[in-house]
Structures are given as structure tokens and as C-alpha cells.
């Protein structure tokens, strides 16, 4: 049985910031109902490297939720000086013994940037989940513990979304990132989701 195939060409836009006072603030530049795949990125020597991949039906709503959770100590945040030097470091996780620091969480939020990729077909959550997982797995392969590559990628990203792969009877999905807006390490070849 031949299943239908979905083909996507994704253009990443960015970098955007969540904090006001930045040149490209997400809330000011992105439509309120636009959704798709997002990539957290950190600058290392003037180049943005992927840090985390997510998906959402609404970029502004989801990233504001990340901001709130970060500022309340409900999400991981990392030492920005370590990230800027290309090292992931230990960071601070929710519930860790290390005390929560509002100033360090805010500094992390000011430091990270976001790249966005949208497509009309991303209204379907399963499609977003599958593309997110495939991209996270590719970034695992191309970044994690590779010599000469800054180690700022959250390699646990793909393990958090393991159940999001293709299921029996679902169409085949192929996608390609055709424009990465200067984000390093983005794959140019087509990927299967």
C-alpha cells in the first residue's frame, strides 16, 4: 500500500528575542496566530547555534509560556557565560538543590534567540511533532560531542519527544530547510519525519 507523502520546504526566520529592548522582539514581529517549529539558539563567537527545538500552534503564546515558566523557576536555564564559550554547563533544573535565581533566569532569557518556521500544514499537531522530532534527532547526530562544534545543543530534546515519530497508517513526511536565516548546523538535505 502506497501512503500519501507530505513534502515541506521550511524557511527559518529570526533571530527573535522574548525580551523587550531587543532589535527583533518576537511579540512585535510575529503574527499572533502563527505556529510551527521553533529553535532556541545561543550566540557563540557571533554565530547562532541550535540549543533546543519545539513546536506549537502559536509561537507567541508558547514562547511567552516558556518565559513565564523560566521566570518562575519551572524550566531549565543555563549559565550564559558558559554558553557563550560554547559549553552547555550544568544549568539549573526545576526542583534542583541549587537555589533559583531570578536575575540568572532573566539573563538567560535575554541571551537566547528564537528562529521560527511556519507552514499552513502545521495546523496539524502530529505533523509538527514529527518534524520537531526528526530535526532534533538530526541535530543530535550533527552536533552532540562533535569536535570543533560548540556544545550548546540540548541532546535530551529528542528523547523527550521519542513517541512523536511516525505511526502506522500515517503519510510519509519529507521536509527540507531551505533557508536558515544564518542559524548554524541546520541540515540542507531532505529529512524524513
Q: What's the pTM value of the predicted model, to 2 decimals?
A: 0.85
DSSP label at residue 32: T
Cell of 154: 540540548
What is the tens place of the pLDDT at every residue in 141-170?
A: 888 777 778 777 776 666 665 666 677 788
Angle between helices 102-111 and 59-71 (to 10 degrees): 150
Torsion of CA 132, 133, 134, 138, to 10 degrees: 100
Q: Residue 52 in 3-state DSSP?
A: strand
Question: Bridge partners of 11?
Answer: 179
Look at residues 153, 186, 168 and name the one whose alpha carbon lies nearest to residue 44. 153
Calpha distance 78→91 (Å, rounded)? 4
**How many angstroms separate the Cα of 62 from the Cα of each of 39, 47, 125, 159?**
12, 25, 14, 20
Residue 130, phi then psi, degrees to nearest 5? -70, -40
pLDDT at 120 (0 to 100): 87
85-142: pLDDT as tens digits: 888 676 776 666 677 788 888 888 888 898 999 988 888 898 999 999 999 889 888 8
Residues in the chain: 193
Amino acid at each position: 500500500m502506497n501512503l500519501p507523502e507530505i513534502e515541506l520546504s521550511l524557511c527559518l526566520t529570526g533571530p527573535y528575542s522574548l525580551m523587550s529592548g531587543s532589535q527583533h522582539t518576537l511579540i512585535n514581529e510575529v503574527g499572533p496566530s502563527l505556529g510551527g517549529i521553533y529553535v532556541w539558539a545561543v550566540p557563540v563567537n557571533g554565530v547562532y547555534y541550535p540549543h533546543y527545538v519545539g513546536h506549537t500552534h502559536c509561537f507567541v503564546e508558547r514562547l511567552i509560556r516558556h518565559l513565564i515558566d523560566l521566570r518562575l523557576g519551572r524550566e531549565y536555564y543555563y549559565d550564559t557565560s558558559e554558553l557563550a564559550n560554547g559549553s552547555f554547563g550544568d544549568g539549573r533544573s526545576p526542583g534542583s538543590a541549587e537555589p533559583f535565581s531570578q536575575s540568572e533566569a532573566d539573563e538567560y532569557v535575554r541571551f537566547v534567540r528564537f528562529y521560527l518556521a511556519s507552514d499552513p500544514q502545521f495546523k496539524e499537531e502530529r505533523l509538527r511533532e514529527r518534524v520537531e522530532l526528526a530535526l532534533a534527532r538530526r541535530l543530535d547526530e550533527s552536533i552532540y560531542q562533535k569536535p570543533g562544534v560548540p556544545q550548546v545543543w540540548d541532546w535530551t530534546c529528542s528523547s523527550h519527544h521519542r513517541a512523536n515519530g511516525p505511526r502506522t497508517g500515517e503519510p510519509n513526511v519529507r521536509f527540507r530547510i531551505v533557508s536558515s536565516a544564518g542559524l548554524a548546523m541546520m541540515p540542507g538535505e531532505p529529512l524524513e519525519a
